[in-house]
A and B are shown apart, each in its own frame.
Chain A
Amino acid sequence: MSEAVLKLENLSKAYSLGKRSVQALSNLNLQVNKGEFVAIMGPSGSGKTTLLNVLGCLDKPTGGRVLLDEVDVTKLPEKELYKIRSSKIGFVFQTFNLLPYLNARENVELPMEGTKKSKSERKRRASELLGMVGLSGREEHRPQRLSAGEQQRVAIARALANDPAIILADEPTGNLDSKNKYEIVRLLANLNINQGTTIIMVTHDSQMASQTERLFFLNDGKITKEKQGRHLAKKKLTCPYCGSRTQLGDAICPSCKKRL
């Protein structure tokens, strides 16, 4: 049995909308192991975002426990939570959420502020991460001078800055065209394979979700279905153009010769 990084026990979350109470999550149980790449799928209103917010310590559940690296984060006060967010979790957002007045490198350095790393160390680490997501040489570019896909890469690099235990990606491909979608998912898959990063991706895009190792289907605040991902278990990826299998790290599809 592999080591659990994240464990949800009877997790519930209710919102009160006026007099009405909305049960966004009800008695949810889930375990994500170290080094896994999982997707959470579901229609809108199924509680995906709520779940992700609770996982990311951005929101408090109304019941149950969230064990992150064996620490129950639901019991922690806000002044402890920010440390958890800073050191254990990396966020990737649908709208990238880069600070427009900072360049790519400075955006990546941002989470390292308040850590013990020296300024030069941060700089070196940021450049290294930007290299890892394929943005070497674009460190000094501001977000508006980067394409959507590039911006999301910067955001991924930023999420990785403090070596988090898990990466929470909220619709990371939602604002991207199909080519960039695949690139971002490939990047996440690469990170998962090469760096051993645990990734939880929320999406309603079944194509993207299928690129992962395990899929959870969320409906009405409950996990209704669990499915094996197509190829990540086999450490393989599918070419988006011809559907044939490619090796991770392939730049060109071996069968249709198109650029991946």
Chain B
Amino acid sequence: MAIMISIPAGITANQASTETLTQNLSDTITQTEATINQTLTQIDCTLAPNFEGFGFAPPDMGDSSFVPPDDGSRFVPPEFGGGFRPGEFGGGAFGRGGTTAMNETLYSDISSVENVAAVALALEASEGTEQTMEMMGRSFTRLIPDYVIKGVSLTSDLVGNYPILPTNITDGRNLQAGDSGVVLLSENNTAFFNAGVGDTVEILDQSFTVIGVYGSSGVEDVMTLYMNLSDAQSVTNNTGYITSLTVFADSSDVVTEVATAISSLHPELSVTTGQQRLDQLEAMKTNYQTALENAESTVAQTQSVAVQEIIVAVAATSLIVMFVMLYTVRERTKEIGTLKAIGFSNWTVMSQFMLEGVFLSLIAGVVGIAIASVAAPALSGLLLPAVAQGTFGRGFTSVANPETTVAITLTPELILLALGAAVLLGTLGSLYPAWRASRTRPAEAMRYE
């Protein structure tokens, strides 16, 4: 009985979690599409080749403009081996596999390319704790980021005109042209630094004043804090280096030409246009779709497993009731014989035993409900595959994470259903034994000791 109650509860919970997941994923896609449509004139240039989605940056670029970080450098790719970061599309960090620093002076010629309206330089670096893990006999060092520093060129022609900064300021103000020594935190950063607007935070031993706080644009937790490019370069000991160039074309019509021009000028650069990013989004959508299908197939699997388990439980319950009642009937043959001898009809005897079976089963039902109300999560967890985090890629996990806790509740409907099932199974299970009892010939029953 406990099983019979826990399983439907588990299914409902799984379905609910899948629904939340679906909602989250489609929300993310919608938001991303909107962001990209706003920035169709945007071209992202990084040194690292774009691995679409997952992967590691190749260790050696074999490229003259590749600048290996020197010893003092704080340069760390923001998310080593990371996956999607759907919330950061506006920042231009889409689909990055790893980032390599490049000398900003090498790229001053880009602004003179025809139809280029503006060039925004940015330096991005993650700060956190390194963790070494063993994998297939090799050890990898992975950074668990606490926060990501992003330095953007705060020049008057860029700030306010181009989407280089987050827009949804929840506290304080956004960064302005010429700001220095100040930092714009994400809501997550405020928790990490335990600081708010007006407070001073220590970033790599330098003090910055929190000027504002922005809310996360997507569903994902954003860890990026924004500051002036020169501040970022000095604080990470990367003076003169950047990790990305964001080029804004005059109009969306000429984006492809500008991108081609930049590519031919600097073949080592990975150039991504809004259109390409849209394409990538399409690919990502497909990925999401796959993830969703996985989730749905898990739910379907859950249901088929649940159906099997319920069938087994139902069969077991009715068999148990049947055997118990058969035993009872056998044990009480003499009593049945007596009852029949003193004038009880077959029907009376049969209904008597049916009633007993139903009552027995009903008690079992009540006990089952009591057990299930305590043990349902554990039981359904044991018996059913859950829509787990592991079903999705790492990038998705963060999307799915907040809601994947499977909440199992016993609704009154479920309890009523269980009691109904108990009565039904009791009836079913005691049908044959009761019939046997009613068929008992009193003459035989009398001699039964």
Residues of A within 8 A of B (CB): 49, 53, 56, 58-59, 78-79, 82-83, 85-87, 89-91, 93, 95, 97, 99, 110-111, 113-114, 158-159, 162, 170
Tell me the smallest distance from the CB of B17 to a CB of chain A, in Å. 51
Which listed residue (B339, B340, B446) contacts A93, Cβ 8 A?
B446
Residue in A53, A110, A170 whose beta carbon sits within 8 Å of that of B342 in the complex: A110
Q: Is the CB of A79 within 8 A of B342?
A: no
Q: How far is the CA of A202 from the CA of B346 in the complex (A)?
A: 27
Chain A nearest Cβ from B360, distance in angstroms? 16
Instruction: Give chain A residues whose Cβ lies under 8 Å from the Cβ of B345.
Output: 79, 82-83, 114
Neighbouring B residues of A95 by C-beta, 8 Å: 334, 449
Chain B 229-268 per-residue mask, 1 if CB under 8 angstroms from chain A, else 0? 0000000000000000000000000000000000000000
The count of residues in chain B whose C-beta lies closer than 8 Å to any C-beta of chain A is: 19
What are 16 of the A-B contact pairs (CB < 8 Å)?
A: A56-B442, A58-B441, A82-B340, A82-B344, A82-B345, A85-B340, A85-B341, A86-B342, A91-B341, A93-B338, A97-B335, A97-B338, A99-B335, A113-B348, A114-B344, A114-B348
Q: Mark out the residues of chain B between 309 and 361 whose CB falls within 8 Å of any chain A CB in the assembled complex.
A: 334-335, 337-346, 348
Query: Are the CB atoms of B341 and A56 closer together than 8 Å?
Result: yes
**Which residues does B use to contact A, with CB under 8 Å?**
334-335, 337-346, 348, 441-443, 446-447, 449
Which B-chain residue is minimally distant from A96 (CB atoms)? B338
Task: Knowing A97-B334, A97-B338, A99-B338, say if A58 contacts B446 (CB, 8 Å).
Answer: yes
Establish whether residues B341 and A58, one from each chain, have CB atoms under 8 Å apart when the complex forms.
Answer: yes
CB distance from A129 to the nearest CB of B (A): 13
A158 to B338, CA, bound (A): 11
How would you classify the secondary structure of chain B's contact residues: helix, strand, loop or mixed? Answer: helix
Q: Which residue on A lies nearest to B343, using beta carbons? A: A86
In the bound complex, residues from chain B placing their C-beta under 8 Å from that of A159 are 342
The chain A residue sitting closest to B348, CB to CB, is A114
Ordered nearest first, which 8 A-B pairs have the shortest CB separation? A86-B343, A58-B443, A97-B338, A53-B443, A59-B443, A58-B442, A82-B345, A85-B343
Residue in chain A with minimal CB distance to B439 = A78
Query: A114 near B338 (CB under 8 angstroms)?
Result: no
Residue of A nearest to B344 (CB): A82
- State the Cβ distance, B40 to closest chain A Cβ, in Å: 86
Q: Does the CB pair B343–A83 fall under 8 Å?
A: yes
Nearest residue (CB) in A for B349 is A82
B446 touching A79 by the CB < 8 A rule?
Answer: no
Q: How far is the CB of B243 from chain A (nearest CB, A)?
A: 87
Separation of A159 and B343 alpha carbons in the complex (Å): 10
Q: Collect the chain A residues with CB atoms within 8 Å of residue B449's CB.
A: 95
When distances are taken between beta carbons in the complex, the residues of chain B under 8 Å from A111 are 342-343
Interchain CB contact under 8 A, A59 and B441 = yes
Chain B residues closer than 8 Å to A158, beta-carbon distance: 342
Name the CB-closest residue of A to B332: A99
Other than the given A91-B338, A110-B342, 9 more pairs (CB < 8 A) read A49-B447, A56-B341, A58-B442, A87-B343, A90-B342, A91-B342, A93-B341, A95-B334, A97-B337
